[in-house]
Amino acid sequence: MQVETLVQRSGSWDDMQAQFRWPNPARYNIAEQICERWARAEPNRHALTYMDADGGVQNFTYQNLSRLSSQLANSMQARGVMRGDRCAVLLPQIPETILTHLATYKLGAIAVPLFTLFGDDGLQYRLSNAGAKVVVTDHANLSKILNIRDQLPDLQHIYCIDGVETGVLDFWTELDRASDQIEVADTTLMDPAFISYTSGTTGPPKGALHGHKVLLGHLPGVETHHNFLPQKGDCMWTPADWAWLGGLTNVMMPALNFGVPLVAHRMSKFDPEKAFWLMRKLNVKNTFLPPTALKLMRQVKNVEPLNMRSVGSGGESLGTELQDWGQQVFGVAMNEFYGQTECNLIVGNSAEAFAPRPGSIGKPVPGHEVAIVDEGGNVLPVGEIGEIAVRRPDMSMFLGYWNNPEKTADKFAGDWMLTGDIAQMDEDGYYHFLSRTDDVITSAGYRIGPSEIEDCLVGHPTVLMAGVIGKPDPVRTEIVKAYVVLNGEGSEDLKAELVARVRSRISPHVAPREIEFIDELPMTVTGKILRRELKNRG
């Protein structure tokens, strides 16, 4: 099957932007794009290589993925899952994650990707807010779902991929009983596909609802920052979890869409030496590596250089030193890119198309209209500092926050979607990120909202108030630091107890790495925490 790309590789970057045209198909379904059309045209084409924790390797063709996901779709349909129902995916980077996404899209249902490190409280909020009807998980995470099941009135079925308990469906037994043929739902670009929960500074996490168009919207950015993917010999992997857009829409979906072999590996904790070994062992040529992963990999001694074809990175600034190291170790310039959960891969670098500029996140990707604007959505002149904004409609842009029209409206100034990121554009069209307008913490590639952590800390009987900020860190960009007001005496044991509370109730990746007890929090007259003053304390 002929692979169609969206960005025409001809002329300058400006030429590519000017020549770009979005396709506008009447029907568009992610499962059809990343699996079914390949399964019909080249059923035996290699789609996925999965290496398990013990080093065992399984290979899957597009036909394998098509048939297995159709079996799951038929099982879910027989149990009452209909178009528009929400199906949660609480699994790591394994084949069953792909099968659940495909099955959900085939039914016209809505996937809800969930990070396996989430604890009971983090899961309860997201599953309740989404009104999830189904959860697909594994034995390692099953107990968390069972603990909160009685708080989830919409949840009707739990599938477990590697164990059976009372009231839980055995994933593979269900598949064995079902037909491997099903008609893919007749969806459009604008029909909802998945909900990705993002953290903000005020209130609980918000569910960014994306349409099937989000796949199409990501392709120009993926093509260009991977040096005009796909090319012969390409093979993609990322350590980024598929519960986040960095893993899901930057790597997993585009690789399958382009017919590029995808590597999956369940890494319980990022191991930089193993990352080098894995890429060499499985002949990975294209990768997305978050800056924190790169910083950890740089600490590995005596690394034999790899012969990569493309390395993309985003989420935090790389810096010149890390860029130079990457060029030496990977044999290719690393292409930094920019986006956020609501509208991803809208600005980026493509070293084969234009020279990267130190400290820049790149130029607007073909197909996306990006500008620097003021608070009113007015485009600012070159060189002036303002907020990065994207004009709607945009293929990568979310449809809105799930069940939250007020927050959706707040995200826009006229037709400009405001990112909350302060930057400036130079005279050559390069964008330079400066800061956040809000207090979202960027730590090890994760965007962390302080409110959820503060609420969890205040739930402890000894805590009166809590303020959470990001503290600069050379490896993680920022670490989570909590300032806590107590109704009693503080101690190191109490600090450990509070950290453990956040780890277990929300997720280890958001747990404070530092806690400082203080007498009172700086606040506005309306009672809002002045996190900027806390940041000034260090």
Nearest Cα to Cα of residue 91 among 39, 157, 156, 161: 161
Whether 326 is in a domain gets the answer no
In-domain check, residue 399: yes
CA pair distance 456, 450, nearest whole angstrom: 10
Considering the domain architecture, whether residues 465 and 415 belong to the same structural domain is answered as no
Q: Positive or negative CA dihedral for 113, 116, 120, 122? A: negative
State how many domains the chain has. 2
pLDDT number for residue 246: 93
Position with higher pLDDT, 99 vs 525:
99
What is the rounded distance in angstroms from the CA atom of residue 9 to the CA atom of residue 13? 9
Task: Please report where in the chains the tokens 């050559």 appear, as a residue.
Answer: 428
Q: Which of 89, 121, 116, 117 is nearest to 105 (CA)?
A: 89
Looking at the structure, do residues 406 and 463 belong to the same domain, yes or no? no
Take residue 148 and report the two structure tokens written for it. 């909160």
Structure-token match 């065992």, residue found:
56
Q: How many CA atoms lie within 13 A of 472 on its CB side?
A: 7
Query: Considering only 275-284, 323-332, 347-356, 528-537, which range has the smallest mean pLDDT?
Result: 528-537
Q: In the prediction, which pLDDT does 218 show?
A: 98
Give how far Cα 317 sits from Cα of 303, 322, 325, 427, Å. 23, 10, 14, 21
Phi-psi region of 123 (alpha: psi -120 to 50; beta: other; left: phi over 0): alpha
Q: Residue 437 has what pLDDT?
A: 72
**Band of pLDDT at residue 137, cut at 50, 70 and 90:** very high
Cβ neighbours for 189, distance < 8 A, ≥ 6 positions apart: 24, 25, 28, 211, 212, 213, 216, 395
The reply to whether 494 falls in a domain is yes
Instruction: Dump pLDDT digits (tens) for 248-266.
Output: 999 999 999 999 999 999 8
Q: What is the CATH number of the domain that holds 211?
A: 3.40.50.12780
This prediction has a pTM of 0.88
- Model confidence over 204-258: pLDDT tens digits? 899 999 999 999 999 999 999 999 999 999 999 999 999 999 999 999 999 999 9
Which one of 395, 424, 453 terminates a domain? 424
| DSSP character string of 186-224 | ---TTSEEEEEEE--SSSS-EEEEEETHHHHHHHHHHHH
Reply yes or no on whether the pLDDT at 526 is more than 50.
Answer: no
pLDDT tens profile 108-118:
999 999 999 99
- What pLDDT was estimated at residue 200? 58
As given in the structure block, the two tokens for residue 438 are: 């809000």
35-44, 436-445, 455-464: least confidently modelled range? 436-445
Peptide bond connecting 393 to the previous residue in cis, omega within 30 degrees of 0: yes
Q: 465 falls in which pLDDT band (50, 70, 90)?
A: confident
Closest CA to 120 of 91, 142, 153: 142
On whether both 406 and 452 belong to a single domain, the answer is no
Q: Is residue 105 part of a domain?
A: yes
Contacts of 271 (CB under 8 A, 6+ apart): none
The phi, psi pair for 215, rounded to 5°, reads -65, -50
pLDDT band at 201 (very low <50, low <70, confident <90, very high): low
Distance CA 162, CA 148 (A): 20
Residues with Cβ within 8 Å of residue 174, at least 6 apart in sequence: 71, 72, 75, 159
Side chain identity at 49, as an amino acid letter? Answer: T
Whether 404 and 524 share a structural domain = no
Q: Shortest CA distance to 140 belongs to which of 179, 79, 89, 90?
A: 90
- Average pLDDT, rounded, for the chain: 94
pLDDT at 524 > cutoff 90: no
State how far Cα 501 lies from the chain centre. 25
Please provide the DSSP assignment of 357-378 as one string: -TT--BEEPTT--EEEE-TTSP
The dihedral of CA 462, 465, 470, 474: what is its sign?
negative
Query: 13-51 burial by CB neighbour count: b if 16+ within 10 A, else e?
Result: beebbeeeebeeeeebbbbbbbbbbbbeeeeeeebbbbb
Higher-pLDDT residue of 451 and 360 is 360
Distances (CA, A) of 529 to 301, 471, 534: 44, 16, 9
Q: Which domain holds residue 63?
A: 33-270+364-424
Q: Is 296 domain-assigned?
A: no
**CA–CA distance, 55 with 274 (Å, rounded to integer):** 11
SS3 of residue 308 by DSSP: coil
Q: Same structural domain for residues 83 and 140?
A: yes
| 409 in the same domain as 265 | yes
In a shared domain, residues 68 and 196: yes
- Residue 182 inside a domain? The answer is yes
DSSP per residue over 225-243, as a string?
Answer: HTTSS--TT--EE-SS-TT
pLDDT tens-digit map of 309-322: 999 998 777 778 78
Distances (CA, A) of 508 to 1, 168, 340, 460, 513: 44, 26, 22, 17, 10
**Cα 229–317–230 angle (5° rounding)?**
5
pLDDT at residue 319, rounded to an integer: 75
Cβ contact 146:120 at 8 Å:
no
Query: Are residues 242 and 189 part of one domain?
Result: yes
Q: Which residues contact 237 (CB under 8 A, 6 or more apart)?
A: 251, 262, 263, 264, 265, 278, 279, 282, 284, 286, 287
Q: What is the mean pLDDT of residues 17-26?
A: 96
Q: Let me know whether 159 and 211 are in one domain.
A: yes
What's 479's domain CATH number? 3.30.300.30
Q: Are 241 and 123 members of one domain?
A: yes
- SS3 assignment, position 90: strand
Residue 454 falls inside a structural domain: yes
Mean predicted confidence (pLDDT) in 312-338? 89
Residue 504 is assigned to a structural domain of this protein: yes
Position 490 pLDDT exceeds 80: yes
Please tell me whether residues 414 and 445 are part of one structural domain.
Answer: no
The dihedral formed by the CA atoms of 444, 449, 452 and 457, expressed in degrees to the nearest 10: 60
Nearest in space to 436 (alpha carbons), one of 199, 141, 257, 278: 199
The answer on 417 and 446 residing in a single domain is: no
